[in-house]
Amino acid sequence: MLEAGVKAPDFALNDKDGKQIRLSDYLGKKVVLYFYPRDNTPGCTKEACAFAGAYEGFRSKDIVVIGVSKDSEASHRKFAEKYNLPFILVSDPQLQAIQAYDVWQEKKLYGKVSMGVVRSTYIIDENGVIEKVYPKVKPDTNAGEILDYLENK
């Protein structure tokens, strides 16, 4: 995982509508960049819905929320429509950002080892520097923890 104080790697990935999103487009704003394994799975749905529920709190502070997984643009579009997700979802099938942020790691499930996205969140400051890292987050509490941190800073 990358650490706080490190320059956040820039990326150029397409959102659910095929529009290219660059992290550097948001310099001057705080960004919550969260990585998750897969659209429409129980944990990822809980996490996305928690971010949607907390979205007004982020928006009122002019904070950009970007979710990243290796799912396709079409998958993201269906996921966002199904759950009314108001934030940006970007598709990273080539693992460009996922590997740059070191969240593509070995995972164990029922004794089976495989590579996958470790659910993690980065808060990136207005200068494009990682301010805080949340490794291996819990899907239902991640958004609330981040909002609490940002409100009490």
Whole-structure pTM over 0.85, yes or no?
A: yes
From 8, 21, 31, 44, active-site residue: 44
How confident is the model at residue 107, as a pLDDT? 86
pLDDT at 152: 86
**Measured between alpha carbons, how far is residue 130 from residues 75, 95, 125, 143 in Å?**
28, 19, 6, 17
Q: Which residues of the chain have pLDDT under 50?
A: none
C-alpha neighbours within 13 Å on the C-beta side of residue 105: 15
User: Quick one: pLDDT at residue 109?
Assistant: 77
Determine whether 44 is an active site residue: yes
pLDDT at 136: 86
Q: Write down the pLDDT at residue 27.
A: 97
What pLDDT shows up at residue 36?
97
Q: How far is CA 21 from CA 68, 81, 92, 123, in A?
A: 11, 19, 11, 17
CA angle 22, 64, 139 (to 5 degrees): 105
Report all structural domains of the chain as residue ranges with CATH numbers, in order of start.
Answer: 12-151 (3.40.30.10)
Which pLDDT score, from 0 to 100, does residue 83 have?
97
> According to the model, what pLDDT value does residue 111 have?
87
